[in-house]
Amino acid sequence: MNLESYLAEQRGVVEAALERALIPSEGTPPRLLEAMRYAVFSGGKRVRPILAMAACAATPAPAARALPFGCAIELIHAYSLVHDDLPAMDDDDLRRGRPTVHKVYGEALAILAGDALLTEAFRVAAEGARAVGIDPVRAIEMIGSIARAAGAGGMVGGQVADLAAEGVAADASLVESIHRRKTGALIAAAVEAGATAGGVAGARRDALLAYGQSLGLAFQVADDILDATAPTAVTGKRVGGDAAHGKATYPSVVGLDGARHVARELLARCRAATDALGAAAEPLRALATFVVERAC
Amino acid sequence: MNLESYLAEQRGVVEAALERALIPSEGTPPRLLEAMRYAVFSGGKRVRPILAMAACAATPAPAARALPFGCAIELIHAYSLVHDDLPAMDDDDLRRGRPTVHKVYGEALAILAGDALLTEAFRVAAEGARAVGIDPVRAIEMIGSIARAAGAGGMVGGQVADLAAEGVAADASLVESIHRRKTGALIAAAVEAGATAGGVAGARRDALLAYGQSLGLAFQVADDILDATAPTAVTGKRVGGDAAHGKATYPSVVGLDGARHVARELLARCRAATDALGAAAEPLRALATFVVERAC
């Protein structure tokens, strides 16, 4: 398959859905909406909603059934970047080559825009569930699963552990534990949302979930490698920013070659899972390959 | 009815449910959970979950059916206080007579504990929906309604408008618009959650929603009056803190007597709504009377 044209097409679908999710509404201060939109429409690759749709496409259901849940996850991802960049957290001025939200709108509005994006994510999931006609029991299951992935035992917990590990001697198991929560959980939730929206059970569901778990970790390992090696033009961030922050990363605990080895192992697991799913999982396979190979 | 013993009993039910919602779980850093619990177990009156149950008790359904949604709203309320107190926002050192979360745990953890509480709120709603055996279509409706009340067009929008109005010449209609979003929306959502969990439609639902709208505004008007007049021992905050911040409040735009008049008018509307609901709405009526009369 041609991954590039597939991604461009799916990204168009996601952008249109996010546009519909972030329109002016009664009671929303225009400057708040502007800050939320600045955070969301910033050239992101939309990996999470595309994964949700690709996972759903590997079931008998149409891919679009997973779209509202993928968009909810993308809004959660966007809020997490806004809050991570705050002066009290990673204190970053630059994100995807542009000034961060608090640099443009001030700290107060950045905190509130993040809060609003996180809240609206659940509105989008709840309203979308009705719009795509999904079984409401499954929709509630998905909302719970997204909240667990994003919450205290998932993404937020990973960010707390990440901040606590700064400048501390970390080992590979601590780094894996941080990455699985901070990045992996939300990516795995996107794939799971696709599986749940598609209504598959048994071995096919298990294969999708295994893929999501491995890809979620692979994604962050690849990000670590790129942070340590790629120029700002590729990452939109300072080269070696993680090292400057004393961040716990795979290259810092197992070296660059070790990190590449881990990424390739995870890619092999993603491929094994997609092999079990057959031709309908081709986009999932191509996505995993792309994520890992650009860093290796 | 004896409001004091009713409130004590209901508060016990809510505290137990919040305890169950905030227990250690895999992946949750202990210090994050500690900060979340510090924010939630701080002597709050639990008005919102009690309202949700009281509204549900005015329907044929048992009050407990609204409990998970009331708890979700209480967690959202708790997160909003943590973020409102941050240095970049209201910069408050004291809340309910104790140091604020960022004073005890630092700014980064305060931001993240707030984020986690907001996220876990939706987990509690989704998991609770199944536990209380509520119709899943209604549960999704409630999750959407809670998100709208808490989001960009509701509570967060109100906080943005509140910050923008600091030191600006405000009028009564701007203050009403801020209060309806910043405080009123979540209180109204609690009452609506009770009505929806109870499954009432038509005139009884309309009366409950009208009650929630009026009470939500009355609650903040009373809070404005208490802030301007009551000692720290009652409010747990500095006397006249709103005036010191140049906040847009009812006393600042219509004077203390004017604010008391508005509060009494709103109480009359709450009473008219509960009259239409009969004896089962007695707790709602007593709650509204208590909220307004302690400030008037």
3-state secondary structure (DSSP) of residue A221: helix
- Residues in a beta bridge with A94: A99
3-state secondary structure (DSSP) of residue A98: strand
**Closest C-alpha among A254, A189, A261, A256 to residue A218:** A261
Contact A151 B127 (CB under 8 A): no
Residues of chain A with C-beta less than 8 angstroms from the C-beta of B152: 25, 27-29, 32-33, 36, 116, 119-120
Question: Looking at the predicted structure, is the pLDDT value of residue B58 above 80?
Answer: yes
**Closest C-alpha among A79, A59, A183 to residue A124:** A79
DSSP A16-38: HHHHHHS---TT--HHHHHHHHH
**Nearest beta carbon to residue B150 from set A79, A119, A129:** A119
Give the pLDDT of residue A152. Answer: 98
Give the pLDDT of residue B133. Answer: 86
Residues of chain B with C-beta less than 8 angstroms from the C-beta of A36: 152
Contact B151 A123 (CB under 8 A): yes
Q: Please state, in angstroms and rounded to a whole number, the distance separating the CA atoms of residues A228 and A234.
A: 12
For A123, which DSSP code? H
Which of A238-249 are b and which e, b meaning 16 or more Cβ less than 10 Å from the residue's Cβ? ebebbeebebbb
Q: Please state, in angstroms and rounded to a whole number, the distance separating the CA atoms of residues A87 and A99.
A: 13
Contact A160 B122 (CB under 8 A): no
Q: Please state, in angstroms and rounded to a whole number, the distance separating the CA atoms of residues A129 and B141.
A: 10
pTM score: 0.96
- Residues in a beta bridge with A99: A94
Q: Which domains does chain B have, with CATH numbers?
A: 3-293 (1.10.600.10)
3-state secondary structure (DSSP) of residue A248: coil
Residues of chain A with C-beta less than 8 angstroms from the C-beta of B156: 32, 112, 115-116, 119
* Cβ(B50)–Cβ(B70) below 8 Å: yes
The alpha carbon of residue A109 is apart from the nearest alpha carbon of chain B, in Å, by: 7
Q: Please state, in angstroms and rounded to a whole number, the distance separating the CA atoms of residues B254 and A243.
A: 56
Contact B157 A123 (CB under 8 A): no
Q: Where are the alpha helices (DSSP H) in B166-281?
A: 172-179, 185-198, 202-229, 232-235, 241-244, 250-277
ipTM: 0.96
**Nearest beta carbon to residue B147 from set A126, A139, A156:** A126
pLDDT by residue for chain A (296 residues), tens only, comes to 899 999 999 999 999 999 999 999 999 999 999 999 999 999 999 999 999 999 999 999 999 999 999 999 999 999 999 999 999 999 999 998 999 999 999 999 999 999 999 999 999 999 999 898 899 999 999 999 999 999 999 999 999 999 999 888 889 999 999 999 999 999 999 999 999 999 999 999 999 999 999 999 999 999 999 989 877 666 666 667 787 778 889 999 999 999 999 999 999 999 999 999 999 999 999 999 999 998 88
Question: Would you tell me the crossing angle of helices A67-84 and A155-165 to the nearest 10 degrees?
Answer: 20
Size of interface A-B (CB pairs under 8 A): 167
